[in-house]
Each structure stands twice: as C-alpha cells, then as structure tokens.
Structure 1
Amino acid sequence: MTIEARPLRRDAQRNRERIIEAAHEVFATRGFAATLDDVAHHAGVGVGTVYRRFPTKESLVEAVFTDRLEDMVTLAEEALTADSAWDGLVDFFRRAARMHAADRGLRDAALSIDADHFGQVGEHMLPLLQQIIDRAHAEGTLRPDAGMHDFPIILAMVTELAQNSTACRPEIYERYLSLLLDGLRACPGHGDLGPQLTEADVQAVMKECVPPLKSR
C-alpha cells in the first residue's frame, strides 16, 4: 500500500505546482476576474483537480499571492530607511505601482477589500505605510491634507491605466503617477483638497475597481 501511495503523492504535488504556476499566469493578465475553471484550463488539468487542491478561489489566491504581498511589505520597510522621507515615499509608490502594473492579480490582491486571508500581511503593511506618511509630514515634504486613504486610490488609478495601455504605451502610467506624486508635495500654492477620505470611502471605491474575490 505504501509503495502504491507514493506516486499518487508525487502526482498530487506536481498537480499543485502546475495549478499554482498556471494561476500566476492567469491572474497576472486577468486579475480576480479569472475563475478556477480558467486556471484549470490553463494548467491542462480537470477543474475537479483544482477544486481538490483549492476548494475556493480565496485559497488559491492566498497560495499564489501571500509571498508577493510580503515583498511589498519589504518595499515599505526599505522606504523607511531612506535618508529623505519624501524620497522613501516616492520610491515605495513607484516600485509598488510597477509591481501592480506588471501583475493584475497582485494589484487586485493588494487593493481587494474582501481578501481577509491577507489580514496578517495588512497588519504589517498598514503601520509601515502610516510611518512613511508620518515621516513625510514631519519632514514637511508631504502636503498636510494628504493622508493614508489617498494612496490606495492613487495606486488604483494609475494601475488601472497601466492595465489598459499595455498594447499602446505600457509605460504611460508612470507619467501620471509622477503628476500625482508632484501634486502631493507640500507647496504654498496648493489649494485645499477638501475633506479627507475615510476608510469607508476607500472601500466603496475599491469595491468598484477590483472584481469580487468570492466569485468562482
């Protein structure tokens, strides 16, 4: 019995690796709009095989993107070591936007409001982002009426542009990210932005920007 079971375990491991690799590729181009059926087709396995390894899309997304989101935590940690708070902030958002532009699935995972299984990553990331913003405020380089909730919206805007301009000008999002970041720099001539966004505002916007994870 033991001898017969070993090939099954090896086959199961190979199938799991094939599914995760296929999911990387499918989610990178289609984001959370992709289904487990799409992943199965791309992996060349039956959809039942995918469901045996990953009974929900959430479990597959977690397997695919947790490490990539940890990479973003590392970016935030590195931003806090920059000599200039403004340079650290700009470097973080440029690198994060570059990662999101190259991988729609990562973009959706980072901006999703219903990815509860990324809670631990968020617990690490959000305080780091607040520190980056607080440093820039203390330095006097970030306009005082810009806050934490502005930055997910900015990333959503520029990375949506990136996803829709790959066929003509794949780098065009960088132009508009630069314009937006310049608008965030403290400057006496800047007008009032109006009331700051709340977390509820951000969630309402992200609900429209990112396909629901709980679909098949």
Structure 2
Amino acid sequence: MTKPLRRDAELNRQRILKAAQEVFAARGVDVMLDDIAHHAGLGVGTVYRRFPTREDLVEALFDTRLAEIVSWADEGLAHADPWTGLTGFVEQATAAMAADRGLRDIAFSRAYGRRRVAEIREMLAPRVEALVTRCQEAGVVRTDAAGVDLVLTQFMVAALLEYAEPVAPGLWRRYLTLILDGLRYGTTPLPVPPPEVENMDRIAENWRPPRRAGSG
C-alpha cells in the first residue's frame, strides 16, 4: 500500500502539477523540469523528488485529460442524433487541443506518455469508428469515410493550430467546419483508401510540430 504524502509534500506536488499544466499549455511539453520548478516557485530538487523525469510528470498530468477525450466519444455515441454526437465529440476534442499545446503534443506524438497514450488510442479507435458507422447507417456521412479519417483530420487541424492560433485565435473552427461538411456532403469519390489503423502509430511518430524559441 502506497504511503500517503505528508501535507506539505502533497501541497508541493499540487503546485508542481498546476505549474506544469500552465507551462505545458502555453509552450508544449518540450520544456525543462527546471522551467516547471521556476514557475512553481520551488527548488529544482523538490520537483525531481516528486517527478524524477519529464515523462513521469507528463503522465501524471495528462492521464485525466486523455481519459476525458474517451468520455466525450462515449457521450457522442449516446446522443440521440448520430451527426450531432459525432460533431460534438470532434469539436470538444479540437477545442481542448486548441486551448492546451501540451495536450496536442501528447495526443499526436509517441515521444511522451507512450504507455497511457497507446492505451487511450486503443480505447478511442473503435469508438470513433462507431461514431462514423452510426452516421453512415443514418445516411448523414459519406459511405467511403472511415473512423481513421477523423483522426487524421485532427492532425491537419493541429498543424493549423500551431501556425495560425497565435495570430488568429479560433480560426480552426472555420476549417473544421469545412472538413466536417466534406465528410457529410462530399460526393467526389475518394481517390485512395484510408490508412490501416495499425499504421497510425507510425504516422504519429512523424508528427513534428514546429518549436518556438524558448520552448526547449
């Protein structure tokens, strides 16, 4: 049984997590633990005692947020209207990515939080496929679409967020609407099939968002 932390140690842990959330959201996860310590107003040694590596801190911080994305997919599947359920999930997930750069780094990369991200992807893939299939059965999504297409559109929107969000906040909503309309109303046959689900990890490994000065 894990021994509970002393009150002061637990308070420091919460300060570290809060500081990490703020720094990761603004700058992504490619920051030093020293930066987290400075933002938290704590000594570097205190941070390293609680979280020996950045990987430990990333997993502790984003575990809940990643599980939240899965819960949004479940809410979408439970919605009475298939199309509203699908778009609600996509919009919630994208809004979360727009507000939190660190979450984007975690969701689209295998560099950090590998174990938990892999588990979440395995849980999320059949749910996203079910969201699309449900819409196809209702006649509101093109028949040649696949769940993996939604995942890859998130990569595209994530790239837009990296380049445009600092200059034009919220612009992603315009292009997400165009993408969703193509999913619903597109009539031009898609020229190539969707990638195999098994290839998504390899695609994620190639995700290299640009890093701004001072991010690492």
| TM interval, short-chain normalised | 0.7 to 0.9
The percentage of aligned residue pairs carrying the same residue is 42
1:3 matched residue in structure 2: none
1:33 matched residue in structure 2: 30
Matched, 1:208 2:197: no
SS of 1:33 mapped into structure 2: coil
Change (3 A) 1:142 1:113: farther
Matched, 1:79 2:76: yes
- 1:79-158 equivalences under 5 Å are 79-114=76-111, 115-158=114-157
2:63 matched residue in structure 1: 66
CA contact 2:130–2:147 (8 Å) conserved in 1: no
Q: Deviations over 1:90-128 (max 9, x none)?
A: 111011101110011112222233521344434432322
CA contact 1:30–1:105 (8 Å) conserved in 2: yes
For 1:20 and 1:116, the matched residues in 2 are separated by: 19
Gaps of 5+ in 1: 1-7
**1:32: Cα distance to partner?**
2.3
Which of the residues 188, 196, 199 maps onto 2:197? 199
Change (3 A) 1:210 1:35: farther
For 2:91 and 2:78, the matched residues in 1 are separated by: 16
CA contact 1:144–1:186 (8 Å) conserved in 2: no
Q: Deviations over 1:23-42 (max 9, x none)?
A: 10011112222232221222
Q: Deviations over 1:53-77 (max 9, x none)?
A: 1122222111111111222122111
CA contact 1:111–1:152 (8 Å) conserved in 2: no
1:13 matched residue in structure 2: 10
Higher relative contact order (CA 8 A, sep 6+): 1
For 1:122 and 1:192, the matched residues in 2 are separated by: 25
**1:206: Cα distance to partner?**
2.1
Matched to 2:8, the amino acid is D
Gaps of 5+ in 2: 210-215
For 1:82 and 1:165, the matched residues in 2 are separated by: 32
* TM-score with structure 1 setting the length: 0.83
For 2:87 and 2:148, the matched residues in 1 are separated by: 16
Change (3 A) 1:200 1:126: closer
